[in-house]
């Protein structure tokens, strides 16, 4: 089973990214083969500052490796290092029907709000289809909001196979990520960069403590009992703690005599410890940029070997010559 997923470098990864997706990517890396990529081409639809894109791409690679992505098990690479993906995107565009893209939610939402939508956003699902099909992916772990794009990928792949009467592409299946663990932001709403309410994975210690102490709570006095089930601080604490520790803190909530400041301190301490090993690995990797470059270079080479195989099938199916190898130097 080949697993593939990508993550956009549109900012620093936060707790919502980790518990909603990254943790599950790492759990899936021990399949027969897993491909994970940093989707910098997709990020161009929103990021217009080139230095920000370069920085966020590097940060994404450092974070994924620090959090446990193992390049000896999974292939990690940067999307733009695979030129085959843009060529396959064009081949798929020639068979993709407009009405299919007009139904996609990102484009529809912008149009409904009267916001400008460029061609990159409109054709985004085709690039995503190329990302998936280029590696003969069997399983694509995605959030519920991305399942539609995997369905579009299947539609486009089936249409290409039918038009050219060849089974060129493997039809992938979406695996919906477990989103049962709600990750609230510091304002109590869902943690999201768009709400500016995130807690970054590798915040400096003082900044992390200050941010957690700012979490929005109600005005229940210290001496009164509190409901842990309606408290964002407790919801975040549950992400990091064992059932036993959750029960202990919940009992302190209900007994009264504990202020929210104490609960926030408990959250800070357990979260700081939870990412301690990953923080150490990240610092070591960041101090050794040549190792990071080598990992991404090796990942791109492995990805390109598979990509070239699939692209060659697609080119031949529609009547183009096979890929011409570069002339020897």
Quick check: is 190 catalytic? yes
**Length of the chain in terms of residues written:** 329
Selected catalytic residue, list 166, 182, 190, 216: 190
Taken in order 147, 151, 153, 154, the sign of the CA dihedral is positive
Catalytic option among 182, 193, 211, 216? 193
193 counts as catalytic: yes
Compute the chain's Rg from CA coordinates: 22
> Which residues neighbour 93 within 8 Å (Cβ) at sequence distance 6 or greater?
123, 126
Give yes or no for a contact between 304 and 82, defined as CB atoms under 8 angstroms apart: yes
Could you give the CA distance from residue 201 to residue 178 in angstroms, rounded to a whole number? 19
**CA-CA-CA-CA torsion sign (59, 64, 67, 70):** negative
Composition of the chain by helix, strand, coil, percent to 5:
55, 10, 35
Task: Please name every residue paired with 77 in a beta bridge, in sequence order, or none if there are none.
Answer: 37
- Crossing angle between the packed helical segments 147-163 and 84-93, to the nearest 10 degrees: 70
Where does residue 305 rank: exposed (0-12), middle (13-18), buried (19+ CB within 10 A)?
exposed
Cα–Cα dist 20/105, whole Å: 20
In terms of Cα–Cα distance, which of 134, 122, 147 is closest to 89? 134
108 carries an active-site annotation: no
CA 132 to CA 155: how far, in whole Å? 13
Q: Which residues are catalytic?
A: 110, 190, 193
């Amino acid at each position: 089973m080949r697993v593939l997923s990508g993550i956009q470098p549109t900012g620093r990864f936060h707790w919502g990214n980790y518990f909603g997706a990254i943790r599950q990517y790492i759990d899936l890396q021990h399949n027969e083969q897993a491909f994970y990529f940093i989707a910098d081409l997709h990020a161009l639809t929103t990021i217009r500052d080139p230095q920000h894109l370069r920085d966020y791409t590097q940060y994404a690679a450092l974070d994924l490796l620090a959090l446990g992505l193992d390049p000896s098990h999974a292939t990690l690479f940067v999307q733009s290092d695979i030129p085959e993906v843009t060529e396959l995107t064009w081949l798929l565009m020639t068979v993709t029907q407009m009405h299919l893209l007009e139904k996609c939610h990102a484009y529809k939402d912008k149009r409904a709000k009267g916001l400008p939508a460029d061609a990159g956003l409109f054709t985004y699902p085709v690039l995503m289809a190329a990302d998936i099909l280029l590696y003969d992916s069997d399983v694509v772990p995605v959030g519920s909001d991305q399942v539609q794009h995997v369905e579009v990928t299947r539609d486009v792949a089936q249409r290409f196979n039918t038009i050219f009467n060849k089974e060129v592409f493997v039809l992938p299946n979406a695996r919906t990520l477990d989103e049962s663990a709600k990750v609230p932001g510091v304002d109590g709403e869902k943690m999201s960069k768009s709400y500016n309410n995130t807690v970054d994975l590798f915040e400096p210690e003082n900044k992390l403590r200050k941010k957690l102490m700012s979490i929005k709570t109600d005005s229940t006095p210290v001496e009164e009992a509190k409901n842990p089930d309606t408290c964002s601080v407790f919801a975040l604490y549950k992400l990091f703690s064992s059932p036993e520790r959750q029960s202990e803190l919940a009992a302190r909530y209900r007994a009264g005599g504990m202020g929210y400041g104490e609960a926030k301190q408990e959250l800070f301490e357990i979260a700081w410890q939870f990412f301690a090993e990953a923080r150490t690995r990240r610092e070591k990797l960041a101090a050794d940029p040549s190792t990071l470059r080598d990992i991404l270079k090796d990942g791109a080479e492995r990805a390109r070997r598979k990509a070239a195989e699939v692209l060659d099938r697609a080119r031949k199916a529609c009547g183009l010559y096979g890929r011409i190898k570069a002339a020897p130097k």
